[in-house]
Amino acid sequence: MSLNVKTRKVDGVVVVDMSGRLTIGEPVLLLRETLRVQVNDGSKKFVLNLGDVSYIDSSGLGELVSAYTTVRNKQGDVKLLNLTAKAKDLLQMTKLLTVFDVYDDEAENLRVEFSRTRLAEVRGSRTHRTPVPRRPTGFEGQESHRTLLTSKLAIIGK
């Protein structure tokens, strides 16, 4: 089963409805091309509806990250919608749940997005995002660990 992609615009937000398998090859290329066209047309807000995506492999996961990076570099935003249990587990294991905003309800997603947009318009500035605290990656303090290890090796004469 391949990937089917349909796009629709809801008040300036591009909703990308996907169904099938997001895997290496044509499915990943289809998603990449779909988003590229929308970004080139000036769209900056995307909601990727993954509710009917039955499987995501490493290439599909990489494409989600690539889409996020591309859109964020253009001062846009990508949010995920209707993750299946498998997709949520995959994003949890890879720590990508800390990167993406994830919603289970499209109306709630769009309501939150629109309220932020309207608030920014009223203030006359870009929407302020509260920073999310970073979760430990396991590399914190690695430099001090190296220094400690080097000093211990120097003590024992190696």
Q: What residue spans define the domains of the chain?
A: 4-155
Cβ 95 vs Cβ 132: under 8 Å: no
Query: What pLDDT does 116 receive?
Result: 62
pLDDT tens for residues 111-149?
A: 776 566 554 544 544 444 545 555 555 545 445 555 555
How does pLDDT run across 86-95, given as a tens digit for each residue?
Answer: 999 999 999 9
| CATH placement of domain 4-155 | 3.30.750.24
What's the chain's average pLDDT? Answer: 82
CA distances from 37 to 8, 30, 55, 71, 126 (A): 13, 11, 24, 12, 24
Short-list 7, 86, 20, CA closest to 48: 7
Contact 70, 38 (CB under 8 A): no
- 8 A C-beta contact, residue 7 and residue 17: yes
Predicted local distance difference test score (pLDDT) of residue 80: 96
Find the length of the chain: 158
Q: Is the pLDDT reported for residue 26 higher than 60?
A: yes
Segment 17-45 mean pLDDT? 97
Instruction: Identify the residue with better confidence: 61 or 152.
Output: 61
